Amino acid sequence: MDSLLLVPFLVMALAPGFHRAPLAHTFSIVARDPATGEMGVAVQSHYFSVGPVVPWAEAGVGAVATQSLVLIDYGPDGLALMKKGLTAPQALNRLVQADTARDGRQVAMVDASGNVAAWTGPKCIPDAGHHTGKQYSVEANLMANDKVWPAMAKAYEAAKGDLAARMLAALQAGQAAGGDIRGRQSAAILIVKAKSTGKPWNDRVMDLRVEDNPEPIKELARLVRLRRAYDFEDAGDNAISAKQPEQALKMYEQAMKLAPDVVELQFWAAVSMYTNGRQSEALTLFHQVFVRQARWAALLPRLSKAGLFPDDPKQLAEVMAQAEKGAPW
């Protein structure tokens, strides 16, 4: 963008009421999944590290995207108002009316009941606009054209899968339609549970960020895939602890299928299997791990010393021997 075009916006960004607003021009989606009640925000921008700025969400409360000439306060303040019982439209209206620089803002909110609201100020850099649908809103500014947010809405409504998959589809469609006129740099996705446990760190379903990448949506999709794989791995470990070995093996298989390139997932699955009565399957998996990356064998004696693997020389030797065999295929 021509630097002269940004001058009035930079002046506005330093004016009273803007609090040195980040210039996070971008496109995003806020949504609530009617089936699960999960809520979230997904965003891409030509802005370094957009994740800490645009997306806000709290389990049992709602989700907020604050962008354009950003007033970050819309995020935590919007959530606070919705937590007190205001709907998303009521919360957004109250904050917009109190904002003397609202003409340069773009904000969208969804609450835990699925109410949705959005605001695009008349001074947002064109092309800019939003579209609200059933329990979601897509919003964009400084776009290459005015087809971006309609394409996002169409893709989200047609997409299958969970909330993360559908929001990613919206971002991909927005980029395919033209995206940010400046290009691409960062992306983020934040999803929270339908109900709060009182422990925010346990209420985040996904919290992933791409800070600086030539293809941020592609990288974000890769991270989402890895997050799913590690979730399956954790579920497998929990099943082992619950003495449900068959269920554990199913979870481990899903993890390895999603992320076959991550040897560590296979290693820890093998450790869990071996220490919970599934030695035969574990030895096969250990062999595959050691053939691919022999360094994992050196970790086993350390785990034994830490009480995380049998401190039995015979058992340890049995597993370590898998590193000395040939390739399993």
For 295, counting Cβ atoms within 10 Å of its Cβ (0-12 exposed, 13-18 middle, 19+ buried), the class is exposed
pTM: predicted TM-score of the whole model, two decimal places: 0.89
**Residue 6, pLDDT score:** 40
How many residues comprise the chain? 329
Q: What whole-number distance in Å separates Cα of residue 203 and Cα of residue 199?
A: 7
3-214 domain in CATH 3.30.540.10?
Answer: no
Whole-angstrom distance between the N-terminal and C-terminal Cα of the chain? 55
Residues near 310 by Cβ (< 8 Å), separated by ≥ 6?
A: 274, 275, 304, 316
169-181 as b/e, with b when 16 or more CB fall inside 10 Å?
A: bbbbbbbebbbbb
Classified as helix, coil or strand, 290 is helix
Q: Which segments of the chain belong to CATH 1.25.40? A: 228-323
**Residue 21, pLDDT score:** 61
pLDDT in tens, the chain (329 residues): 333 334 334 444 444 444 456 776 799 999 999 999 999 999 999 999 999 999 999 999 999 999 999 999 999 999 999 999 999 999 999 999 999 999 999 999 999 999 999 999 999 999 999 999 999 999 999 999 999 999 999 999 999 999 999 999 999 999 999 999 999 999 999 999 999 999 999 999 999 999 999 999 999 999 999 999 999 999 998 988 888 888 988 999 999 999 999 999 999 999 988 988 889 999 999 999 999 999 999 999 999 999 989 999 999 999 999 988 754 43
Q: Which segments of the chain belong to CATH 3.60.20.10? A: 3-214
**228-323 CATH choice from 1.20.1070, 2.60.40, 1.25.40, 1.10.3470:** 1.25.40
